C-alpha cells in the first residue's frame, strides 16, 4: 500500500512515518521542508510541498491508498488557530480533488467528550494550548464530520501523550474507544507517541472507524 503522510517531519508525523516504514509501506512523506527527514529508506519518497497550495498537494497525493494528516502549524505560531483551520481545510479539499477516498486526520484530545462535553470546552483546559485545540474541534465538528465525499476518520490522542523512555516507548498495547477517553486503573488517559503510531497503522489495516472519531490509550 502507498500512504501519503502530511506533516511527516513533526513529532507525531515522524512517529507514524517510522511505523509505516517498519511495516514496509510505501510512504509519500509530505512537509514544507523534507530536508529535515534524515532517514533513508527505499520505500520513502520525500515531497516538499506547501499544504496551502491545493493543486500541488492534490497532485502529490494522487494514487495513494490513504492520506494521513498530522498537520500542525507549530505550537509557538501566534496565528495557530486561523492557520490550522485554513490548513486542515486545504488538505481536505486537496484529498477530495485528488480522487483519494481515505483520509485519517490526527487531531487532539480536546475533541474527545466527557459526560457529553468536549474536553476543550472545560474550565480547566490549559489556556496555552486552547487556541490550537479549539481550532481542531471547530474543524472536526463544523467541517470534517459533515463530509460525505471522503472515507474520513479522525483520531484523538490520549489526554497525556509523551515521549516515554526508550524501554517504555513502544509497547504495541492499547485500548480503543470512539468519542470518549480511555482511562487506566489510575484514572489517567495516556500513551506514547510511538503507540499512537501503532494504533494509526493498525487502523489502516483493520478499517474499524470509517466516518468516526476514535482514540487509543493504555
- How confident is the model at residue 75, as a pLDDT? 84
Q: Is the pLDDT of residue 114 over 50?
A: yes
- How confident is the model at residue 161, as a pLDDT? 83
| DSSP structure string for the chain | -EEEEETTTSHHHHHHHHHHHHTT-EEEEEES-GGG-----TTEEEEE--TT-HHHHHHHHTT-SEEEE-----TT-TTHHHHHHHHHHHHHHHHHHHT--EEEEE--GGGSEETTEEGGGSTTS-GGGHHHHHHHHHHHHHTGGG-SSSEEEEEE--SEEE---TTTS-----EEESSS----TTS--EEEHHHHHHHHHHHHHH---TTEEEEEE-
pTM: 0.95
- How confident is the model at residue 169, as a pLDDT? 80
Cα 86 from chain centre: 16
Give dist(CA 87, CA 71) in Å, integer.
Answer: 8
Q: Is the pLDDT of residue 25 over 50?
A: yes
CATH number at residue 66: 3.40.50.720
Give dist(CA 48, CA 201) in Å, integer.
Answer: 23
First and final C-alpha spacing in the chain = 28
Q: What does the chain come to in residues?
A: 218
| Percent share of the chain, pLDDT over 90 | 94
Write out pLDDT tens, residues 34-60. Answer: 999 999 999 999 999 999 999 999 999
Q: For cell 502507498, what's the residue?
A: 2
Give dist(CA 206, CA 3) in Å, integer.
Answer: 15
- Domain holding 176, by residue range, is 2-217
Give dist(CA 214, CA 184) in Å, integer.
Answer: 17
128 vs 17, 34, 75, 132, 133, CA distance in Å? 28, 28, 9, 9, 10
Q: Is the pLDDT of residue 157 over 70?
A: yes
Total tally of structural domains belonging to the chain: 1
Q: What angle do CA 72, 155, 100 make, to 5 degrees?
A: 80
Give dist(CA 95, CA 8) in Å, integer.
Answer: 16
Amino acid at each position: 500500500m502507498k500512504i501519503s503522510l502530511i506533516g511527516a517531519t513533526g513529532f507525531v508525523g515522524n512517529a507514524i512515518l517510522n511505523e509505516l516504514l517498519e511495516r514496509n509501506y510505501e510512504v509519500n512523506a509530505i512537509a514544507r521542508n523534507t530536508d529535515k527527514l534524515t532517514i533513508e529508506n527505499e520505500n520513502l519518497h520525500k515531497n516538499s510541498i506547501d499544504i496551502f497550495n491545493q493543486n500541488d498537494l492534490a497532485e502529490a497525493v494522487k494514487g495513494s491508498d490513504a492520506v494521513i494528516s498530522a498537520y500542525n502549524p507549530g505550537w509557538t505560531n501566534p496565528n495557530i488557530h486561523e492557520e490550522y483551520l485554513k490548513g486542515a481545510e486545504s488538505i481536505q479539499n486537496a484529498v477530495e480533488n485528488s480522487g483519494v477516498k481515505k483520509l485519517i486526520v490526527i487531531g487532539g484530545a480536546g475533541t474527545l467528550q466527557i459526560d457529553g462535553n468536549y474536553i476543550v470546552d472545560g474550565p480547566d483546559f490549559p489556556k496555552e494550548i486552547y487556541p490550537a485545540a479549539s481550532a481542531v474541534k471547530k474543524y472536526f465538528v463544523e467541517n470534517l464530520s459533515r463530509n460525505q465525499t471522503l472515507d474520513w476518520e479522525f483520531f484523538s490522542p490520549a489526554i497525556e501523550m509523551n515521549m516515554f523512555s526508550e524501554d517504555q516507548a513502544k509497547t504495541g498495547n492499547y485500548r480503543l474507544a470512539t468519542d470518549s477517553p480511555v482511562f487506566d486503573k489510575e484514572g489517567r488517559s495516556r500513551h506514547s507517541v510511538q503507540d499512537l503510531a501503532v494504533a494509526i497503522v493498525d487502523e489502516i489495516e483493520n478499517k474499524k472507524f470509517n466516518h468516526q472519531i476514535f482514540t487509543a490509550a493504555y
